[in-house]
Structure 1
Amino acid sequence: MAKLYFYYSSMNAGKSSSLLQADFNYRERGMATMLWTAALDTRSDGLVRSRIGLEAEAHRFRPDTDLRAAITAAHRESALDCVLLDEAQFLSETQVWQLAGVADELGIPVLCYGLRTDFQGALFPGSAVLLGIADALVELKAVCHCGRKATMNLRVSEDGSAVKQGAQTEIGGNDRYVALCRKHFSAALKG
């Protein structure tokens, strides 16, 4: 029975690297995969790209992309063994349910990788639904500067100070976000 998986973490835990490793493992065994990433992340240019230099071409999803229809069409052309999706926090509730249908009705495992929470500690919509309905939840670990597990994403300004307000989504990497444990996240917001 195929499952819907959600691999989640804070920034800098290796989500994209893990996705690319899983993709490699399937392909190495002669299996067909389909990769997806968020069109919203314009830095990726249609690639799943890790900080350690690995990358692979991917389809890009937008808020209005019917993932189930796109995956079904590709599966009819050439049987898929796995679907891997990066930046899963940007999925809509409808899209998460579409992916659940891919696993349940098409029998294709779906591996989603994304952030659990935003820079204010709130769940992203896609992550909230995945946490609620995924068959398997896997937390990937990042490390705070103190050595504890980093679970939070602190947004920082150009001068390095904590950003407390703003849009939920602002694309950026290490220049805009710092992975912290809850203690240091809270302290940074109070400071």
Structure 2
Amino acid sequence: MAELVFFTGTMDCGKSTLALQMDHNHAARGRSGLIFSRLDRAGTSRLSSRLGLSRQALEVLEHTDFWELVVEQITNGRKVDYLICDEAQFYAPVQVEQLARLVDELGIDVYTFGITADFRAQLFPGSQRLIELADRTQLLQVEALCWCGRTATHNARTVGGVMVVEGEQVVVGDVGDGEPHETVEYEVLCRRHYMRRMTAHAARAQALSPDVLPFDLDLCPLPQPR
């Protein structure tokens, strides 16, 4: 039976790497698929991983109709067994419904990859619809880490090194290194440091302050082994 699967997690947990690996595995078994992405960090019509892996993809636009596109491919004689859909949080809810229709009516496996919540800790519309419709929602097992060493659960946006919680939902940037820049960057944080707006850059600045003693630093105790 074909499935609509949503693989999700924070940034840095390997979603795009898994998407590329799944395409490789299916193609190695003689299956034919299509790769889609939207607003990838490497540019238009690319699916890329932070590990340096990349390949060509079909760019998902606001007017992209997955049903019409795939039916046209099949009508023109192309075999389509599966779809790899990266950056699915940026898809419109109606496009998610089109993917579900491809699964149900044409028996095509659809594997989607994306983050669930934005920098405001609110669900992306595309992710919300996937959670509502997917046969399976699978949390990736590779844990991204906050600067404090705990498991990261939230995606934070920084501008000039300062965390912000207001602005447009979709602004393309990259994972920041904690240094101040005027460009938009993203960083993963644990809930405690997300709520306190304590990024890696802010933590380093606090640590270097002569007015702060070591025991005053906002550190999270790591969980003890059981």
TM-score by length of 1: 0.93
| DSSP 3-state at the match of 2:120 | coil
RMSD: 1.7
Choose from 184, 187, 208 the match for 1:178. 187
**Match for residue 65 of structure 2?**
66
Q: Distance in 2 between matches of 1:50 and 1:44?
A: 12
**Match for residue 168 of structure 1?**
169
Q: Is the 8 A contact 2:40 2:47 kept in 1?
A: no
Moved more, 125-134 or 142-151: 142-151
C-alpha displacement at 1:150, in angstroms?
1.4
Structure 2 residue 132 is matched with structure 1 residue 128: no
C-alpha displacement at 1:33, in angstroms?
1.2
Structure 2 residue 12 is matched with structure 1 residue 15: no
Q: Is the 8 A contact 2:41 2:48 kept in 1?
A: no
| DSSP 3-state at the match of 2:174 | coil
**Match for residue 213 of structure 2?**
none
C-alpha displacement at 1:14, in angstroms?
0.9
**Match for residue 223 of structure 2?**
none
Unaligned runs of 5+ in 2: 177-184, 203-226
Choose from 134, 138, 147 the match for 1:145. 147
| DSSP 3-state at the match of 2:16 | helix
| DSSP 3-state at the match of 2:159 | coil
C-alpha displacement at 1:41, in angstroms?
4.2
AA at the equivalent of 1:63 = E
**Match for residue 53 of structure 1?**
52
CA 50–41 in structure 1, closer or farther in 2 if over 3 Å, else same: closer
C-alpha displacement at 1:64, in angstroms?
1.2
**Match for residue 89 of structure 2?**
89
Q: Distance in 2 between matches of 1:74 and 1:151?
A: 39
Q: Is the 8 A contact 2:11 2:188 kept in 1?
A: yes
AA at the equivalent of 1:178 = E
AA at the equivalent of 1:136 = R
C-alpha displacement at 1:68, in angstroms?
1.1
CA 14–42 in structure 1, closer or farther in 2 if over 3 Å, else same: closer
TM-score by length of 2: 0.79
Choose from 196, 209, 214 the match for 1:187. 196
Identity of aligned residues (%): 38
Q: Distance in 2 between matches of 1:3 and 1:155?
A: 33
**Match for residue 117 of structure 1?**
117
Q: Distance in 1 between matches of 2:18 and 2:51?
A: 11
Q: Distance in 2 between matches of 1:92 and 1:44?
A: 20
For residues 128-159 of structure 1, the C-alpha deviation after alignment (integer angstroms, 9 at most, x for no partner) is: 0001110000112322223332121000112x
Greater C-alpha Rg: 2
| DSSP 3-state at the match of 1:6 | strand
Q: Distance in 2 between matches of 1:75 and 1:171?
A: 33
Q: How many residues align?
A: 189
